[in-house]
Amino acid sequence: DNPFPNSFVYSYGHRNSQGIAWTEDGTMYASEFGQDTWDELNKIEAGGNYGWPEVEGIVGEDGFIDPLQQWSPDDASPSGIAIHDGTIYIANLRGERLRTVPLTDPAT
């Protein structure tokens, strides 16, 4: 079901995806290392452009899909991601924490 004919590409503009997880309905989420400014939680859409290397984090520009959340690398450096019982769990290496993100409102 890739959106680009004769291609393995599903979406693009990802810098360094560290974890990918799916909800029961098949929605895909990814935790990503940024370069210098922002680490991200993204809801992945077929054919979506997530901005790298032109943009990092939430920019609100046409043509790019903004992350649901962004964090400073000092507070995050996300690694694994899992989804269970309506919650996204993201392990953060440098931030030394386990983030919980409710699926009912993942942008908060």
The 10s digit of each residue's pLDDT in 6-36 is: 999 999 999 999 999 999 999 999 999 998 8
DSSP string, 15-79: SEEEEEEE-TT--EEEEEE-SSS-EEEEEE-TT-B--TTT--S----TTSPPPSEEE-TTT--EE
pLDDT of res. 36:
86
- When pLDDT is cut at 50, 70 and 90, the band that residue 101 belongs to is very high
In this prediction the pTM is 0.93
CA–CA gap between residue 59 and residue 53 (Å, rounded): 13
For all residues of the chain together, what is the average pLDDT? Answer: 95
Which letter does DSSP use for residue 100 in this model? E
For domain 16-102, give the CATH number. Answer: 2.40.10
Whether 1 shows a pLDDT value over 80: the answer reads no
**What residues contact residue 70 under an 8 Å CB cut-off, 6+ apart?**
34, 38, 39, 40, 41, 57, 58
